[in-house]
Chain A
Amino acid sequence: MSDATLIALALLIPLAGSLGIALTGRFPNLRETVTLVTAVTLMLVVWSLLPQVFDGGRPSLAVWEMMPGFEIAFTVEPLGMLFAALASMLWIVNSVYSIGYMRGNRETHQTRFYACFAIALSAAMGVAFAGNLLTLFLFYEILTVSTYPLVAHKGDANTVRSARVYLGILMGTSIGLFLPAILWTQTVAGTLDFTEGGILAGHIAGPAVGLLLALYAFGIAKAAIMPVHRWLPAAMVAPTPVSALLHAVAVVKAGVFSITKVITYIFGLDFLASEPSGAWLSLLASFTILAASAVALAQTNLKRMLAYSTISQLSYIIMAAAVLKPLSEIGAAVHMVSHAFGKITLFFAAGAIYVASKKTELYQLHGIGKRMPWTMAAFTIGALSMIGVPPTAGFVSKWYILGGSLEAGNLVAVFTLIGSTVLNAAYFLPIIYRAWFRAESTPPSRDHGEAPWPMVLALTTTAFLTLAFFIYNQPVIDLESQLVGRMK
C-alpha cells in the first residue's frame, strides 16, 4: 500500500470503527469486538509507517484544497510518528481495560462512549500527522468536541458543570488565542506549512515574538500550562478509561505535541533561541511544574492528584522543548512516551481500585495493597516512573532533559528538575507506604479482591512497558535524533 493510503487509513479506520460501534450497539459483545479489531488494525497501519520514517522518509498526503490557499495536508515526521504510534498502541490496552471498567461499573450509554472514543482517536491521528497549522487546528477542535460527551458521560449536575469548564476553556482558548495566532502567522509569513527550520524567521522580531508565542502557548490549552490548566482536573469526572487514555495520553499529548511542533516547525529553534522575548516559556513551564506538584501535594482525591501530576509532567515536556537544545528536544520526545506509560498505569490502577472497592480518596487506601497486590504493584511502578527512579521509564527522559539543561546552562531548569523530583516523591511515596504497610483503618463495606481480569491485564501490561522502556528505548531515541540531526 502506498504511503498516502496508509495515512488516509489511519484517519478513516477509527471513524469506520465508530460507525460500526454505533451500528452494533445492541450487541455488546460484537460491539466490543469491533472496538478491539479497529484498535488492532489502526496500530498495524500506523506502525507500518514506522520503517520508512526510520529511514528518513517523510510520507505525505495532500487531501484537497479547503479554500483557496489552504490545503488539508498530512506529513509524517518523527515527532508525529512517535505520538501516533504511542496513542494507537495504548488504545488497544485501554480498550481491554475499558471493557472491564465499563461492565464492572455497569455504566450506561456504553455505545456512545465507545463511538466517541474512536472518533477522538481519529482526531488524535489527524493532529499527529497534520502537515500544516490549519489541518492541525481542524483536528484539534474535533478532538475537543468528540471528548466532550466522554467527559460529561455520567450526566449528573456536577459532571455537567465540570464538562462546561472543560469545553469552555478548551474551546475558548482555541478560538480566542490559538486561531488568532494562526491568522497572525498566516498574515506575516504567508504560509502555514510545517517547515523544517521554521517559517517565521525574518518576518517578525522583538517583543512580538514573545506575544505570538504566548498566543500559541495559552491557545493550545490542551498542554495545560498554568493558568489554562483548570480543564484537566475538571475532566476527571469522566470514566477512568477516558482519564487514562485521553487525559494522560491522547488529548494532553496532542497539546504538548502541538506546542513542540509550533516551536520546531513554525518558529524554528535557532530563531527562537535568538529572540530573548521568547525565553519566558521555559520559565513559565518551570513554574507550572513546581506549582502543580505543590497543588498535587494538597489533593485528597486520587484522580485529582493524578491530574495535577499530569499538569506538572506535561510542563516537563514544554520546558524541555523550550530549552532549545538537541538533548533536551530528545528528552521532550522521550518523556512523551515514558510519561504516557507511567501515567496510564496509574490511572488504570485508580480505576481498578474504584471498580473493586468504590474508593476514590487517598485516606481510604490504607492496606489496599494486600487486597489488590497486582494493581498496587503496577501503581508503585508507575509512581516510581513519575518520580524518575531507575529502573523505570521516567528516569530515561529526565536524564536527557537534565543533560540538555546543563548543556544550555539553564540553571532554572536544572533546579526545577531537582525540586520537582522531591515534590513528586513527597506525594507518591506516602500512598505507596499506606497501601502496602498500613492496616485497613475500617473494614470495607464488602469484601473484595482484584478488579475484573481485563483491567488487571491492562494495567500489568502498561506497568511492564514502563519497566521495559528503561532498557529498550533506543528506537525512540534514534527516531528523534533524526529530528535533531536534521535541525542542526
Chain B
Amino acid sequence: MSVTAHLPALQVVVPMLTAPVLVLLRDARLCWIAALLTSATSFAIAVALAAGVLDGMDIRYAMGNWAAPYGIELRVDALSAILLLATTGASTLALLGGRRSLLREIGDARLPLFLAAWLLALAGLVGILVSGDAFNIFVFMEISSLATYILVSGGPHRRALPAVFKYLITGTVGATFYLIGVGLLYMMTGTLNIEDMAARLGDVGASDLLYIAIGFIAIGLALKAAIYPLHAWMPNAYTFAPHMVTVFIAACSTKVSLYVLLRMDYAVFQHNLPEQGLHFALILMPLASLGIVFGSLAAIFEQNIKRILALSSVAQLGYILLGASLVSAAGINASALHLFNHALAKGALFLAVACLGYRFAKLRLEDLRGAGRLMPWTLTAFALAGLSLIGIPGTAGFVSKWALILALMEQGALGVALVVLVVVSSLMAVVYIGRIVETLWFAEPPGEDPTVKEAPVMLLAVTWLAVALNFWFGFDASTSGALAIQAATDLTGSAP
C-alpha cells in the first residue's frame, strides 16, 4: 500500500505522536515550529482526503488490517471532509499567526507543554471525524476535551478556571451520556461500528430501550455541541481562553459534536425508524429557533467583545441545527455549508479579536473606544469578517444563508415563518457587529495611548488571509458547495 492509502490513519497519528515529542523538545521556538509543521501536515492530509471524496472515492481504512465490523474502521465522507478542513485549517492558521500572542499569554516555559496539549486536541477532533466506530468516537471525544480544558485554562486570567471547571463537568456528563447510549445500542445490536449498527438495528425494531438510547445520545451530544439551552458552559470558556485557543476551538470544537449527532441520527436512527425524522425535527427545530433568537439577542446586550462573538456562535449553531432539523437533503446541504462557512467567519473574527487582544489588556467595548483609529487594518479586517457573519452577498456567510433560506422555502408556511426568523436574526447580527465597529472606530478614546500600534505583522497577515478566504468562498462556492451536496446525498440518500 502506498502512503496515500494510509492517509485516514495518518490524519490522527501524526498530531498524536508529535505531541509527546514536543514535551521532550522543551524549547519554545522549536516546539512552535514543530507544532506548526504538524498542523500544516494535518491540513495537507485533510485537503488530500477532501480531494479524494470529491473524486467520488469511498475512503475506508481498516486499522491493523482487521476488517470491519470486527476491526476498527476509519471512514471519511463528505461531511467529515468538510469539518476536517475546517478543524485542521483553523489550527494551522491560529498557530501560524499566533506565536507572539501565545508567548505573551502562555510564556516561554509552559509553551512546549501547551502546544503538546494543542496537538492532542487536534488529534482528538480529527479522530472523531475519521472514526467509523461509535466507541472510538467517545475516546477521541474525551482526548480532545481533556486537551481543550488544558488549553482553555492556560491563559493568564483567573476567571478561566471556574469557566473551564464548568466546561469539564458539562463535557464529561455529555460524553458519559453519549457512552450510555452507545452501551445500550451495543446491547441491542452487538456491534459498535456505525454502519454495521445501522444495518442490524433494522432487525431489532423500535423499542423503549432504543428510544432511551437515542435520548441519551442526543442530550449528551447536545451538551457538548452547546445547543440552546445547554450552552451555558460555552460563552465563558470562549471568553477567558487564550485568544489563539478561542480561534481554534470556536471554529470547530462544538461543530464536531454536532457532526456526531447528525451522523448517528441520520445514518443509524432515521435509517431504521420511520418516525425518527419527525421526532428529530420536532425536538430540535424549536431549540434551534430559540437558540437563534436568544443568541442574537444576548449578543446585542453584551459588553465583552469576545463574549458577543461567543453568544453569536449560539445563534449560528442554531442555523446549522435548523437546516439539519428540516430532515431534507436541501437542509443538510445548508447545514454542511454553514458548518464550513461559519468556521471561516468566526475564525477570522476571533483572529481580529486576537489582534486587539495583543494590544489591549481589556476587551470590553468601553475599553476599546477608538481602538480602530490606532489599529485600522485590524478593524477593517474585523468589519469585513463581520459582513460574512451577517451574510452579505459576496461573502461565505451569504452562500450558506442563501442555501438555508432556499431549504426553508421548500417547507411551506412553516418554512416562511422560519425565513422571517433567520432574516430577523441576520438584522440582529447587523446590530451587534455594527455596535462593535462603531465603538472601535468612532467613539472617543478614554485617553490617548501612543504606545498602541498595529498587531504583529504575522498575526495581521493571517487575519487578512482568513478574511480573504471568506470572500473567496463567497465568490466561488463550487468546492464547498460540491462537498455539501455530497454530504447531503450521503446522509439523506437523495440529492438536494
B442 within 8 A of A: yes
Q: How far is the CA of A68 from the CA of B482 in the complex (A)?
A: 9
A64 lies within 8 A of B409 (CB)? no
A141 lies within 8 A of B477 (CB)? no
B53 within 8 A of A: no
Find the B residue at minimum CB distance from A141.
B392
CB-contact partner of B438 in A65, A145, A164, A175, under 8 A: A164
B393 lies within 8 A of A183 (CB)? no
A183 lies within 8 A of B405 (CB)? yes
Q: How far is the CA of A65 from the CA of B426 in the complex (A)?
A: 24
A274 within 8 A of B: no
Interface of A is mostly: helix
In A147-188, the 8 Å CB interface with B consists of 152, 155, 159-160, 163-164, 167-168, 171-172, 175-176, 179-180, 183, 186-187
B478 lies within 8 A of A67 (CB)? yes
B402 within 8 A of A: yes
CB-contact partner of A164 in B424, B426, B434, B475, under 8 A: B434
Find the B residue at minimum CB distance from A135.
B393
Hey, which chain B residues are within 8 Å of A168, CB to CB? 430, 434
A72 within 8 A of B: yes
Hey, which chain B residues are within 8 Å of A167, CB to CB? 430, 434
A67 lies within 8 A of B430 (CB)? no
Shortest beta-carbon distance from A40 to chain B in Å: 28
A187 lies within 8 A of B434 (CB)? no
A134 lies within 8 A of B393 (CB)? yes
Q: Given contacts A152-B442, A172-B427, are A183 and B477 in contact (CB under 8 A)?
A: no
Contact with B along A66-107 (1 / 0, CB 8 A): 111000100000000000000000000000000000000000
B430 lies within 8 A of A64 (CB)? no
Q: How far is the CA of A143 from the CA of B308 in the complex (A)?
A: 27
Hey, which chain A residues are within 8 Å of B405, CB to CB? 183
Q: How far is the CA of A138 from the CA of B393 in the complex (A)?
A: 5
A160 lies within 8 A of B442 (CB)? yes
Contact with B along A234-264 (1 / 0, CB 8 A): 0000000000000000000000000000000
Q: How far is the CA of A141 from the CA of B474 in the complex (A)?
A: 14
CB-contact partner of A64 in B387, B434, B441, B476, under 8 A: B476
Hey, which chain A residues are within 8 Å of B188, CB to CB? none
CB-contact partner of A67 in B399, B426, B442, B443, under 8 A: B399
A137 within 8 A of B: yes
Q: How far is the CA of A163 from the CA of B391 in the complex (A)?
A: 21
B423 within 8 A of A: yes
Shortest beta-carbon distance from A65 to chain B in Å: 7
Q: List the count of A-B residue pairs having beta carbons below 8 Å apart.
A: 68
Contact with A along B127-138 (1 / 0, CB 8 A): 000000000000
A67 lies within 8 A of B481 (CB)? yes
CB-contact partner of B406 in A64, A138, A183, under 8 A: A183
Hey, which chain B residues are within 8 Å of A159, CB to CB? 442
Q: How far is the CA of A176 from the CA of B426 in the complex (A)?
A: 8
Find the B residue at minimum CB distance from A160.
B442
B393 lies within 8 A of A175 (CB)? no
Q: How far is the CA of A64 from the CA of B475 in the complex (A)?
A: 8
Hey, which chain A residues are within 8 Å of B403, CB to CB? 67
B419 within 8 A of A: yes
Q: How far is the CA of A152 from the CA of B409 in the complex (A)?
A: 37
A67 lies within 8 A of B477 (CB)? yes
B392 lies within 8 A of A72 (CB)? no
B394 within 8 A of A: yes
Hey, which chain B residues are within 8 Å of A66, CB to CB? 399, 474-477
A64, A65, A145, A175 interface centre (most CB from chain B within 10 Å): A175
Give the bracket for the number of chain A residues in contact with chain B. Answer: 20 to 34
In B315-370, the 8 Å CB interface with A consists of none
B394 lies within 8 A of A141 (CB)? yes
Q: How far is the CA of A347 from the CA of B480 in the complex (A)?
A: 47
Contact with A along B376-390 (1 / 0, CB 8 A): 000000000001001
A142 within 8 A of B: yes
B481 lies within 8 A of A68 (CB)? yes
CB-contact partner of B423 in A64, A72, A180, under 8 A: A180
CB-contact partner of B419 in A64, A67, A138, A183, under 8 A: A183
Shortest beta-carbon distance from B185 to chain A in Å: 37
Shortest beta-carbon distance from B236 to chain A in Å: 30
Hey, which chain A residues are within 8 Å of B424, CB to CB? 176
Q: How far is the CA of A66 from the CA of B387 in the complex (A)?
A: 17
B476 lies within 8 A of A187 (CB)? no
Contact with A along B395-437 (1 / 0, CB 8 A): 0000100110110010000000001000110110010001000
A175 lies within 8 A of B476 (CB)? no
Shortest beta-carbon distance from B374 to chain A in Å: 14
In A343-368, the 8 Å CB interface with B consists of none
Contact with A along B204-221 (1 / 0, CB 8 A): 000000000000000000
Find the B residue at minimum CB distance from A72.
B475
Shortest beta-carbon distance from B242 to chain A in Å: 32
Q: How far is the CA of A180 from the CA of B426 in the complex (A)?
A: 12
Hey, which chain B residues are within 8 Å of A72, CB to CB? 475
Shortest beta-carbon distance from B468 to chain A in Å: 14
In A440-484, the 8 Å CB interface with B consists of none
B394 lies within 8 A of A65 (CB)? no
Hey, which chain B residues are within 8 Å of A64, CB to CB? 475-476
Q: How far is the CA of A129 from the CA of B485 in the complex (A)?
A: 31
B390, B393, B430, B475 interface centre (most CB from chain A within 10 Å): B393
A145 lies within 8 A of B419 (CB)? no
Q: How far is the CA of A183 from the CA of B427 in the complex (A)?
A: 17
B423 lies within 8 A of A175 (CB)? yes
Which residues of A are at the interface with B, using a C-beta cutoff of 8 A? 64-68, 72, 134, 137-138, 141-142, 145, 152, 155, 159-160, 163-164, 167-168, 171-172, 175-176, 179-180, 183, 186-187
Q: List 11 A-B contacts (CB under 8 A).
A: A66-B399, A145-B387, A155-B442, A160-B438, A163-B442, A167-B434, A168-B430, A171-B427, A183-B406, A187-B406, A187-B409
14 further contact pairs, Cβ within 8 A, besides A65-B478, A137-B393, A175-B390: A66-B474, A67-B478, A68-B478, A68-B481, A141-B392, A160-B438, A160-B443, A167-B430, A167-B434, A171-B430, A176-B423, A179-B423, A183-B405, A183-B419
| Top 5 A-B pairs, shortest CB-CB distance | A138-B393, A67-B477, A160-B442, A141-B392, A67-B481
